[in-house]
A and B are shown apart, each in its own frame.
Chain A
Amino acid sequence: MFELSKEHEDFRKVVREFAEAEVEPHIAKWDKDHHFPSDLVPKMGDLGLFGLVVPEEFGGMGDDGDFTSLCVAIEELGRVDQSIGITLSAGVGLGINPILTYGSQEQKERFLPDLVAGRALAGFGLTEPDAGSDAGATRTKAVRDGDEWVVNGSKAFITNSGTDITSVVTVTARTGTNDDGSAQLSAIMIPSGTPGFTVEPAYDKLGWHASDTHGLTFEDCRVPAGNLLGNEGEGFKQFLKTLDDGRIAISALAVGMSQRMLEETTEYARTRKAFGKPIGVNQGVSFQIADLAVMVEASRQLTYKAAWLKDELEHGRRSVKEVKQAAAICKLYSTEAAVTATRIATQVFGGNGFMEEYPVARFYRDAKILEIGEGTSEVQRMVIARHLGLPTA
């Protein structure tokens, strides 16, 4: 069975220490100012956080690293702040991962060393204003002109796409039509600063204020033919696999959130007094916190089980199907549990829970997106039901 190793636990300690010293003291202000802390990214790189699933030749941790360690890091950052957690999760899962999995040696050598060191960030643009859950509806088009691709269209809600250290965004675009009339998608890397590539102003978001999210516009944006990632027409297959890993990572982020809510409410219920006694003496309060502890434990088990399966898959000991199902299950459960956890925490904190002075308010705002990004809860249920062999629409 799976368990975290001593090194995973040592690593957890370090990431926790890092998050509490480098993030916690600043996060309220970053959140309030909607500030993306690009200075923090190289420090995360120094810890090795971006290289946990990357071979040594690109500056990564090679055989020493694994996907489980990445989940530990995301969970611990997420316990202190979700924006910073998603910056890592998306940086690796959406930024580095597609290049690592589908890139040519030359593409990897060009982009990965900086991304792994935290000197740069990459984004992955799949969602469009009119194509989210239904990625097949992608409208962005790439047309081959000599030895260049000409890209036209727009992308919506792309994480890490507009920071001052973003080096490249991989976008999915229609490069043709399949025999059945469906779109043939391909992934193309668009370096930041390419003429015709516009990063729209940052969104005004409910949460994740310290995370970078932009809409992107492409107008006759020309990139060399060599910027195609993997084979032409395989974009659909590629992003489905990318999302599987990303879902486990989002689940780890949710575990960090629920864990933090458990700590916050336990402490508050012990110290806050009403009717002459700590509020925790009331079972109406303490039972909710007990339920929270169960949710934390269940989310954590599901998440690390999926991470373990994913690591086993790397060694050829598990199947893609198994990982896909485990990823959808943990993502669905952990994110819905995290939303519930923030609702309970805010309630336990009473009026204070509604005040930005207390971190639970920030977590409450940050929770909802977990049920939406990298596949909504409904999409996870679709994946799970399909795996069970249920008929599809």
Chain B
Amino acid sequence: MNIVVCVKYVPDAQSDRTFNESDNTTDRVGVDGLLSELDEYAVEEALKLVEAGEGEVTVVTVGPDQAADALKKALQMGADKAVHVKDDAIHGSDAVATSLVLAEAIKKTGTPDLVITGMASTDGTMSVVPAMLAERLGLPQVTFASELSVDGSTVTIRRDGDAASETIVATLPALVSVTDQINEPRYPSFKGIMAAKKKPVEEWALADLGIDASQVGLDAAWTKVESFTKRPPREQGQIVTDDGDGGTKLAEFLAAQKFV
């Protein structure tokens, strides 16, 4: 079974994330970045499926030069090969354009049995790319899987909702997005790190995918960030002095803020 996993290079949530002053897009160059943690679950799930049977895991990313780090991490975890779509024209693309680029890149890799994505990116957190991608590839979309199994030509997932858990079956090939409940992503091992050095990474530009630059980028985006303001510094908290009635004061505070 051949699986394609879409992975994204995102600014590290631990560092100071910001926007570019010039065009209000997410700053992906000036801050430390990494493989989106939510995509690690997708990589892990693909690796488990392939390890239990046979086939290959290909990871695909669309992003700037530094996005190669996200691919490297996935290769170190055990993916077999990687595709990096990079092109200056892609800068500022919205989800619609990103899904177009991903779809064309996936088609160019061949005909995977399964496309797996994370449930959202940790920077944009829109969760729409999987659905758009399924639509563009003409695949059944089964999203937010917290459990996944493949049996012959079908994939079965469990989607946990507030009120109930649904079991959904789709025929392969299909696209599945997975949640952070589905598995425990592995750390790359020393062997994995050394092996990743020798794994193939393809670099494609828009022209290689037959996409016209006017279809992507900031100018083609359906949504744009008009302006941004820095988060105000955190205010000094309110200190409750306990004169024997600390508990009551605390409860009153919580009630006033409608927390209780």
Contact = CB atoms under 8 A, between A and B. Distances in A.
Interface of A: 7, 10-11, 14, 17-18, 46-49, 51-52, 61, 64-65, 69
A49 B187 contact: no
B194 A64 contact: yes
Given A7-B197, A14-B193, A49-B190, 9 more contacts: A11-B190, A11-B193, A14-B187, A18-B187, A46-B186, A47-B187, A47-B190, A64-B190, A64-B194
B111 interface: no
Contact of A46 (B72, B76, B189, B197): B189
Contacts of A64: 190-191, 194
A7 B190 CA distance: 9
Nearest to B189: A48
* Residue in A17, A47, A51, A65 whose Cβ sees the most chain B Cβ within 10 Å: A47
B188 interface: yes
Given A7-B197, A10-B76, A61 B190 contact: yes
Contacts of B186: 46
Contacts of B193: 7, 10-11, 14
A7 B187 contact: no
Interface string B190-224: 11011001000000000000000000000000000
A84 to B, nearest CB: 15
* Residue in B187, B190, B191, B193 whose Cβ sees the most chain A Cβ within 10 Å: B190
B223 to A, nearest CB: 34
A92 to B, nearest CB: 13
Nearest to B76: A10
Contacts of A51: 190
Contacts of B189: 46-48
A48 B191 CA distance: 7
Interface of B: 72, 76, 186-191, 193-194, 197
A316 to B, nearest CB: 23
Contacts of A11: 190, 193
A14 B76 CA distance: 10
Contacts of A7: 193-194, 197
B78 to A, nearest CB: 12
17 contacts: A7-B194, A7-B197, A10-B188, A11-B190, A11-B193, A14-B187, A18-B187, A46-B187, A47-B187, A47-B190, A48-B189, A48-B190, A48-B191, A52-B190, A61-B190, A64-B191, A69-B190
B39 to A, nearest CB: 15
A10 B197 CA distance: 11
A215 B188 CA distance: 37
Contacts of A69: 190
Contacts of B197: 7
A198 to B, nearest CB: 37
B228 to A, nearest CB: 27
A7 B197 CA distance: 8
* Residue in A10, A17, A51, A69 whose Cβ sees the most chain B Cβ within 10 Å: A10
A14 B35 CA distance: 13
B198 to A, nearest CB: 11
Given A7-B197, A10-B76, A65 B187 contact: no
A312 to B, nearest CB: 20
A64 B196 CA distance: 12
B16 to A, nearest CB: 15
Contacts of B76: 10, 14
Nearest to A45: B189
Contacts of A47: 187, 189-190
A11 B193 CA distance: 7
Contacts of A17: 187
7 closest A-B pairs by CB: A48-B190, A64-B194, A48-B189, A10-B193, A14-B188, A18-B187, A47-B189
Nearest to B186: A46
A52 B194 CA distance: 12
B82 to A, nearest CB: 15
Nearest to A61: B190
A61 B194 CA distance: 9
B32 to A, nearest CB: 11
A7 B187 CA distance: 15
A52 B188 CA distance: 14
Contacts of A10: 72, 76, 188, 193
A18 B191 CA distance: 16
Contacts of B191: 48, 61, 64
Nearest to A17: B187
B140 to A, nearest CB: 35
* Residue in B72, B76, B186, B193 whose Cβ sees the most chain A Cβ within 10 Å: B193
A52 B193 CA distance: 12
B116 to A, nearest CB: 22
A48 B197 CA distance: 17
Nearest to B190: A48
A47 B191 CA distance: 8
* Residue in A18, A46, A48, A69 whose Cβ sees the most chain B Cβ within 10 Å: A48
A18 B186 CA distance: 10
Contacts of A49: 190
Contacts of B190: 11, 47-49, 51-52, 61, 64-65, 69
